[in-house]
């Protein structure tokens, strides 16, 4: 598997964060990468930096948003945006380095909740 920086995705993620007013997410601490030749069956995924790593390395919380080129790049822009929104929904309000699961007590990360934010993005 190969990784490369994804500045095109970085710009779109920053725009999504600003337009949706996701004030708890620090765009400068979200790193976007594109992977090639992954065996995973996902369009994208988000990686966290757990608190113990933050302490050990002396850094703030960061997240890596990875798009899997062979699935993600061929999708429409709207579907790509839905995927990016989905991944950003995994970032908790505390921006702690943890991840919110799909079925959380406070909110659900599912197609319906993604669509609500997608429609807000398009207005």
pLDDT digits 0-9 by tens, 89-119: 999 999 999 999 887 666 789 999 999 999 9
Cα gap 63→17, rounded to integer Å: 14
Cα gap 100→88, rounded to integer Å: 10
How do 30-36 and 63-68 pair as beta strands? parallel
- Ordered by start, the domain boundaries in the chain are 2-122
Cα gap 85→114, rounded to integer Å: 6
pLDDT digits (tens, 9 = 90+) for 47-98: 999 999 999 999 999 999 999 999 999 999 999 999 999 999 999 999 999 9
Cα gap 13→10, rounded to integer Å: 5
């Amino acid at each position: 598997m190969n990784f490369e920086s994804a500045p095109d995705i970085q710009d779109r993620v920053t725009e999504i964060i600003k337009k949706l007013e996701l004030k708890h997410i620090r765009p400068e601490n979200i790193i976007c990468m594109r992977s090639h030749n992954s065996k995973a069956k996902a369009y994208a995924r988000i990686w966290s930096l757990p608190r113990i790593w933050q302490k050990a390395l002396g850094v703030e919380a960061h997240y890596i948003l990875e798009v899997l080129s062979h699935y993600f790049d061929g999708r429409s822009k709207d579907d790509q945006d839905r995927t990016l929104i989905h991944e950003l929904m995994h970032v908790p309000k505390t921006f702690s380095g943890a991840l919110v699961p799909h079925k959380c007590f406070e909110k659900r990360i599912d197609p319906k909740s993604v669509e609500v934010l997608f429609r807000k993005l398009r207005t």
